[in-house]
Amino acid sequence: MLLYRLSQAQMIYTNFRLNLLYLAVITTVCACSSTEVATDNPDALFAEAESELTDGRFLMAIEKYRDIKNRFPYSTRAVDAELRIADAYFQQESYIESETAYEVFKELHPTHHKSDYVQYQVALSDFYQIPTHPGRDLTAAYKAIDAFKVLEERYPSSEYIEKGRVHSAEARRKIAEYESYVADFYFRRRHFLSASYRYAALLKDFPDMGYDEEALYRLGESYFRIRMFGSAKETLGRLMKSFPESSYKSGAQALLEELQKKNN
C-alpha cells in the first residue's frame, strides 16, 4: 500500500514537472514568435527606433534605423530611416556627421517632401560648428550662410525661412566679430597697412553691426600712419559725421588737426 502511494505521488510530481516544462516551451515559442513578428515588420522596428531616439539612446536608434535600411531596402520606412539617422546624429550634437548624412539624403532623394527641412538641417549643422572664439577658423559660418541662402532661394515658401534668416544673421555677426578681431590684432601690433585692409573690409561687408564707429577711427588712424592722408581725412570725416558724440572724437580731432598742419 505504501509503495502504491509513493508511486502515485511520484507520478503526480512527474506530471507536474512535465506541465511546467510544457508551459515553459509554449511561453518561449510565443515569445520568439512575437519577436519575429516585430523584427519582420519595418513599421514595428521603426517604432522601436523612434522610442530609442526619444529616450536619448542615439547609437541604439541609429543601429535600428540602419537595420531597417538593410533588411527592408524597398520599404518606405527605409527612406524614413535614412532621414532619421541624420536627425539622430544632429540630436546627438554630432554635427559633422549630421551634415554629411543630410547632404547624402539630399542627393539620393532630391524631390522628397521634406527637402526644405533637410536643407535647413544642413545649414543648422554648419551653424552649430561655428566656434565660439572669434579668432578661430570660421569656414562653418560661411558654409551656414550659403546653405541658408540655398534654402531661401529654392524653397521661398518654406516654414523654415524666418528661422534661417535669424541664424544667418548670427553667422554674419560671427564673421564680423572675426574681422574686427583680426583688424585689431594688426592695429595693436602697428601693422597699419594690414589693419587698413581689414577695417575697410569690415566697414564694406558688415555695416551697421556694431563695429562701424571703432573701425572708422582705427581705419582713419591706419591711413594716417601709412601716410595716406587724403583717405585718412575722408575716413575721419565720416566718423565725425556719423558719430558726432563718438568716444573717439578727441582722437579724431587731433588727427585732423595734424592733417591740417601737413596741408599748410
- The pLDDT assigned to 113 comes to 96
- The pLDDT assigned to 261 comes to 84
pLDDT above 90: percentage of residues in the chain = 80
Q: What are phi and psi of 160, to 5 degrees?
A: -95, 0
Mean pLDDT of the residues in the chain: 87
- The pLDDT assigned to 238 comes to 96
Q: Burial level of 20, CB count in 10 A (0-12/13-18/19+)?
A: exposed
Question: How far apart are the C-alpha atoms of 220 and 41, rounded to whole Å?
Answer: 71
Q: Is the pLDDT of residue 31 over 80?
A: no
3-class secondary structure, 148: helix
- The pLDDT assigned to 264 comes to 66
Average pLDDT, stretch 8-15?
A: 46
CA angle 63, 66, 70 (to 5 degrees): 135
What pLDDT digit, counting tens, does each position of 47-75 carry?
Answer: 999 999 999 999 999 999 999 999 999 99
DSSP 228: -
State in Å, rounded, how far the first CA of the chain is from the last one: 141
Q: 214 is written with which cell numbers?
A: 571703432
Q: 93 is written with which cell numbers?
A: 550634437
Question: How far apart are the C-alpha atoms of 152 and 120, rounded to whole Å?
Answer: 9
What pLDDT digit, counting tens, does each position of 214-258 carry?
Answer: 999 999 999 999 999 999 999 999 999 999 999 999 999 999 999
Question: How far apart are the C-alpha atoms of 113 and 124, rounded to whole Å?
Answer: 19
Alpha carbon of residue 241 to chain centroid: 41
Average pLDDT, stretch 103-124?
A: 97
- The pLDDT assigned to 173 comes to 95
What pLDDT digit, counting tens, does each position of 154-209 carry?
Answer: 999 999 999 999 999 999 999 999 999 999 999 999 999 999 999 999 999 999 99
Question: Is the separation of the CB atoms in 178 and 140 below 8 Å?
Answer: no
What is the pTM assigned to this prediction? Answer: 0.77
